């Protein structure tokens, strides 16, 4: 499937700074969040959003990304908040544009096909997640790195992977984390909250009697980002709310058998 650049307008726009476009997009996404995101359950009212003025306003704002002065995104916090928000919004935009009704799996290569133009370059969802936010790591063992050779998009790469991004990136499915909007000045506190919320949800179940730990398949797919098996367990222990479970995990860490939940790719509908 060819790449679908969803914010191309064919019109030249004035150069904008990273801060300007971030604020514009955040305002538009906040409006979508207020009207169409279920913040408790994590679902999205795609049907309600589809023909809304709020979504039209958001789409208009995305055209400014093509004239972004990317050098304005300087700090780690600014880059994290910007690219996480862009990723999540692009998923929603892609679902609506391609009329996805049940699952993103309906669209072949959804995460490689759906793109935004940012500055002078085109970025797919895979480019943003695996190229920028994951430090140009392979999506799968046999897949190539997103940015190879002299690819000029390498300058956007965040060299150090923050594993908490995996609790913030939303793939439009029931098993992914709830959708939210992130801010540069609060990004670390927000990532702490979503990491804690995810690990204390039904995506992480401690079975003390059988010494088993049932976890989201996200922990398997991105085990290296978490620092291997030990890193996964350390993270779960760190954020575990229940003192009894936390104590059990600490004592049984070497004996635990980790099982991975099936991933529900059904659309995250309200």
C-alpha span between 83 and 85 (Å, rounded):
5
- Domain spans in the chain, listed from the N-terminal domain onward: 4-174
Which three-class secondary structure state does DSSP give residue 146? Answer: coil
Phi, psi of 259 (to 5 degrees): -115, 145
Q: Can you give the pTM of this predicted structure?
A: 0.93
Non-local CB neighbours of 32 within 8 Å, separated by 6+ positions: 49, 54, 55, 58, 92
Q: Which segments of 15-155 are extended strands (E)?
A: 16-17, 68-69, 114-118, 121-124
Q: Is the pLDDT of residue 142 over 90?
A: no
Phi, psi (rounded to 5 degrees) for 31: -65, -40
- Partners of residue 204 on adjacent β-strands: 215
Q: CA triplet 183, 124, 69: central angle to 5 degrees?
A: 55
Q: What per-residue confidence (pLDDT) applies to 212? A: 95
Q: DSSP assignment of 4-38, as one string? A: EETT--SS----EEHHHHHHHHHHHHHHHHHHHB-
> Do residues 270 and 43 make contact, with C-beta atoms less than 8 angstroms apart?
yes
Percent of the chain at pLDDT > 70 equals: 93
> pLDDT above 90 covers what percent of the chain?
73
Quick one: pLDDT at residue 24?
Answer: 81
Question: Residue 68 forms beta bridges with which residues?
Answer: 16
What is each CA distance from 196 to 17, 187, 203, 241, in whole angstroms? 33, 14, 11, 8
Q: Per-residue pLDDT averaged across 169-195, rounded? A: 93
pLDDT-based confidence at residue 71 (cuts at 50, 70, 90): low
């Amino acid at each position: 499937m060819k790449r679908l650049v969803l914010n191309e307008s064919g019109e030249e726009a004035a150069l904008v700074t990273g801060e300007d476009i971030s604020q514009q997009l955040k305002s538009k996404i906040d409006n979508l969040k207020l009207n169409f995101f279920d913040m408790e359950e994590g679902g999205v009212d795609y049907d309600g959003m589809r023909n809304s003025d709020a979504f039209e306003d958001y789409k208009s704002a995305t055209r400014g990304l093509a004239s972004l002065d990317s050098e304005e995104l300087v700090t780690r916090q600014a880059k994290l908040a910007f690219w996480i928000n862009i990723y999540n919004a692009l998923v929603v935009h892609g679902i609506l544009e391609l009329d996805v009704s049940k699952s993103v799996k309906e669209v072949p290569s959804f995460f490689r096909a759906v793109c935004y133009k940012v500055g002078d370059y085109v970025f797919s969802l895979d480019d943003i997640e695996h190229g920028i936010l994951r430090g140009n790591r392979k999506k799968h063992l046999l897949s190539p790195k997103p940015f190879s050779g002299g690819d000029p998009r390498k300058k956007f790469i965040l060299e150090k992977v923050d594993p908490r991004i995996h609790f913030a990136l939303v793939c439009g499915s029931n098993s992914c984390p709830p959708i939210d909007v992130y801010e540069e000045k609060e990004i670390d506190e927000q990532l702490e909250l979503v990491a804690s919320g995810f690990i204390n949800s039904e995506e992480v179940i401690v079975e003390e009697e059988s010494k088993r730990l049932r976890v989201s398949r996200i922990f398997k797919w991105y085990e290296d980002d978490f620092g291997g098996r030990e890193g996964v367990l350390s993270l779960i222990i760190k954020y575990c709310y229940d003192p009894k479970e936390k104590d059990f995990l600490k004592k049984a860490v070497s004996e635990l058998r980790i099982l991975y939940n099936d991933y529900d790719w059904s659309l995250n509908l309200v």
